[in-house]
Amino acid sequence: MSSRLLHGGNVSANGIRQHFLRYGGKGSPVILIPGITSPAITWGFVAERLADVHDVYVLDVRGRGLSSTGPDLSYDLDTMARDVCEFAAAQGLDRPALLGHSMGARVAMRAATSGAGSFSRLVLVDPPVSGPGRRPYPSQLAWYVDSIRLAEKGMDLEAMRKFCPTWTDEQLRLRGEWLHTCFEPAIVTAFNGFHEDDIFPDVSELTLPVKLIVAGRGGVIQAEDEAEIMSLNPAIKIARVADAGHMIPWDDCDGFFAALGNFLSSSR
């Protein structure tokens, strides 16, 4: 099957180099924002399918992949959200949709509230709902840090399988190839932000169409969280992928796209 990947690129936006991969090139624009330790290339299989009808830009979030990194940068939620807003402006995108997973969903939400009117629709894929006074995010920081340190030394498929036992060999190889590009302080800051940043005020401020996709067995978003979200913003559409963990497209790609439906193409 031929790839819909058009090219990679770099753009100067919000004071850093932002690297992206572009798929499709036709249709309404979508910016895809990956999670805490997922460089852009690891979301290529999702972008390929989105590119059937969309012009898809997958970002390397700062401190990951080929975007700017290092100890002199900030890695907080507001800064990452500004990156997205400035990236869209630098690329001249006309009200693109945002699709974010996990940390990327929190970034997308903050970008949508801080850049009101700049984006057309928002897809939130299993965002952490932890925060001040709330239950902690179910994953442990050591899981991320230990795997990154091993990847920096060189990590084969079987070593990676110990961290992601349900993944396919192809998925494990790709993660093993790129995980070393995740800058540990950026990951620690983002993980701490899951517990320090309250995203629920953002939920009530969202005025654009929003779809929330929840992992049925991920443990990140529970029924009471869905109820609170709906009480704050009843217009949000919620879809659950029953057989998937937090990495929803990895566990059930067809289920993910069934949950997404035609939301990104809808006029309402």
CB-CB neighbours of 152 under 10 Å: 13
Model pLDDT for residues 59-73, shown as the tens digit of each residue:
999 999 999 999 999
Beta bridge partners of 21: 8, 58
> What is the residue range of 46's domain?
5-138+196-265
pLDDT of residue 266 exceeding 90, the answer is: no
pLDDT of residue 56 exceeding 70, the answer is: yes
Mean pLDDT of 3-21: 97
pLDDT of residue 218: 81
Per the listing, tokens 């940043």 go with 197
Closest alpha carbon to 173 in 189, 190, 187, 155? 155
How far CA 268 is from CA of 114, 207, 208, 259, in Å, comes to 22, 12, 10, 16
If you average pLDDT over every residue of the chain, what do you get? 96
Asked whether residue 161 is domain-assigned, the answer is no
Asked whether residue 125 is domain-assigned, the answer is yes
Asked whether residue 255 is domain-assigned, the answer is yes
Model pLDDT for residues 185-202, shown as the tens digit of each residue:
999 999 999 999 999 999
pLDDT of residue 267: 65
Strand ranges of the sheet holding 54-59, from the earlier edge strand across to the other edge: 5-13, 16-23, 54-59, 28-33, 97-101, 122-125, 210-215, 237-241
CB 185 within 8 A of CB 153: no
Asked whether residue 176 is domain-assigned, the answer is no
Q: Look at residue 223 and give its three-state secondary structure.
A: helix
Asked whether residue 97 is domain-assigned, the answer is yes
Q: Give me the percent of the chain exceeding a pLDDT of 90.
A: 96
pLDDT of residue 268: 61
Give CA angle at 82 (77, 83), nearest 5°.
95
Mean pLDDT of 103-127: 96
pLDDT of residue 36 exceeding 90, the answer is: yes
Mean pLDDT of 241-256: 96
pLDDT of residue 2 exceeding 70, the answer is: no
Write the single-letter amino acid at 38. Answer: S
pLDDT of residue 1 exceeding 70, the answer is: no
Which of the four pLDDT bands, split at 50, 70 and 90, describes residue 241?
very high
Q: What is the CATH number of the domain that holds 209?
A: 3.40.50.1820
CB 217 within 8 A of CB 244: yes
Quote the CA–CA distance of 50 and 6 in Å, as a whole number. Answer: 13
Quote the CA–CA distance of 111 and 177 in Å, as a whole number. Answer: 29
Our count of domains for the chain comes to 1
Quote the CA–CA distance of 28 and 207 in Å, as a whole number. Answer: 19
Asked whether residue 93 is domain-assigned, the answer is yes
Model pLDDT for residues 132-150, shown as the tens digit of each residue:
999 999 999 999 999 999 9
Which of the four pLDDT bands, split at 50, 70 and 90, describes residue 116?
confident
Could you tell me the two tokens for 3?
A: 């790839």
Quote the CA–CA distance of 217 and 203 in Å, as a whole number. Answer: 23
Asked whether residue 22 is domain-assigned, the answer is yes
pLDDT of residue 238: 98
Mean pLDDT of 40-50: 97
Quote the CA–CA distance of 101 and 40 in Å, as a whole number. Answer: 12
Q: What stretch of H or E contains 101?
A: strand 97-101
Mean pLDDT of 207-216: 97
